[in-house]
Structure 1
């Protein structure tokens, strides 16, 4: 694989979406997945409550079979929540739902990236835990040229299935990278420097999450509470690490 596409020689790297994750994963020690609205925000909410979260790349019959094998509850779509199936990709719904020891949380963006990552430690990050993630990564020795970190902004999807880069994930990734830099990790690729600069110079991150295209879509659909939870900056100190196929708190 071409070194230029892997951002080699840098301790902290940045890319977009599943293709970017595939490109960088093999050459790093840790892959940080950022999907602010809403996979990684939902992961923080669930893991805080003591739930182990299994990522899964799609919500279909195979997800149902996987949940049965894992003896886990299965998250449904936001609009499909019922008393019998109260868990969904909505962090607000997860806060209200009964406790589940294990949860399968499918999504085509952040969850798909996490589920397919191989060879690297995988961490779920959002605006809710970005500072804690950066501190943990640095304390664990990640983010150096010898043990590089790739921060992946999951992005959203256009109707034709193409990647739609999203402001909320750019800000979330920038928050993680800024935290890494604050904890002494300065070997940032140019690609990683850019989202950190966007985050640190943003006058109103919370307002931007609500006013950006993804936030407006959710608010218009009746999910303003999800947007508000996603903007709870540094409200969480949990660092979800993919361990034996499920996200659990970092040791």
Structure 2
């Protein structure tokens, strides 16, 4: 008789779904690929930075150890949004990263996205968001992820309550749905866990609904929080759909950074790049 905890591992499914670092730790051992979806911060910031040619090193904590890690990797350190200065213009904000000067390496501390990446163990890690959902779905299908032979897990990051517990985020649910829907459209998903079964329906692919999606974001828990903190970008980078030029945002095994794929023209659509084999 199997242990009751095995029920939550979703081992009968090629595409699995969980929330937060705790969920990632639970399912990571049984999958070869983890898709981290932290739409308004980590994943979209990674996409913007890597698209510009920057190697991103995820780091789970923003403390003195992050500075040491950045120095050891000859990288700049992203600071808190309110700590941005002319000397340290990089932060966990897609808008700030667009304005910041180019840096070849960047340490990106994040209590959500980076913490999930750290929980992945030896699995390949892909940073997925609305901005690169279709490209990520195609890349996953191209490399055979999302089947019983090569299962993957989509992890919606969510946010944290003041006591540190998980606060699910609507924007990450939508982002996870967009990635899973793109994987299904590419013919690479199955079977799909019931925990993730309704996620594609949470995202509407009609681009005319972009304004509606923006209103949903701004009315969700995280949207008003960002406005109160005067972050300024109003989550616009996170709300962009299919704007990415690069397919893959992957944490290399044995080499902890997210890398830009070679710039080969992708036959699936203009402006996208083919990931390396």
Corresponding position of 1:153: 156
Query: 1:29: Cα distance to partner?
Result: 1.2
Corresponding position of 1:119: 122
Q: Which runs of 5+ in 2 are unaligned?
A: 262-275
**1:221 pairs with 2:229:** yes
Structure-1 separation of matches of 2:90 and 2:18 = 30
Provide TM-score, normalisation by structure 2: 0.87
Matches within 5 A, 1:1-251: 2-184=5-187, 185-200=189-204, 204-225=212-233, 227-238=235-246, 239-243=248-252, 244-250=255-261, 251=276
Any idea what the Cα deviations from partners look like across 1:15-67, whole Å, max 9, x if unmatched?
00001000110101100000012011100000000000000001000000000
Query: 1:201: Cα distance to partner?
Result: 8.8
- Which deviates more from structure 2 when the two are superposed, residues 184-193 or residues 31-40? 184-193
Native 8 Å contact 2:218 2:234 kept in 1: no
Structure with more relative contact order (C-alpha pairs < 8 Å, separation 6 or more)? 1
Structure-1 separation of matches of 2:232 and 2:186 = 33
Any idea what the Cα deviations from partners look like across 1:66-106, whole Å, max 9, x if unmatched?
00000000000000000111000011111111111000000
Would you identify which runs of 4 or more consecutive aligned residues in structure 1 move more than 6 Å? none
Q: Which runs of 5+ in 1 are unaligned?
A: none
Structure-2 separation of matches of 1:226 and 1:123 = 25
* Secondary structure, counterpart of 1:26 in structure 2: helix
* Secondary structure, counterpart of 2:30 in structure 1: coil
Native 8 Å contact 2:40 2:238 kept in 1: yes
Structure-2 separation of matches of 1:217 and 1:157 = 12
- Which deviates more from structure 2 when the two are superposed, residues 111-120 or residues 196-205? 196-205
Structure-1 separation of matches of 2:214 and 2:67 = 35
Any idea what the Cα deviations from partners look like across 1:138-169, whole Å, max 9, x if unmatched?
00110101101100001100011110001011
* Secondary structure, counterpart of 1:249 in structure 2: coil
Structure-2 separation of matches of 1:4 and 1:47 = 37
Structure-2 separation of matches of 1:214 and 1:128 = 18
Query: 1:226: Cα distance to partner?
Result: 5.1
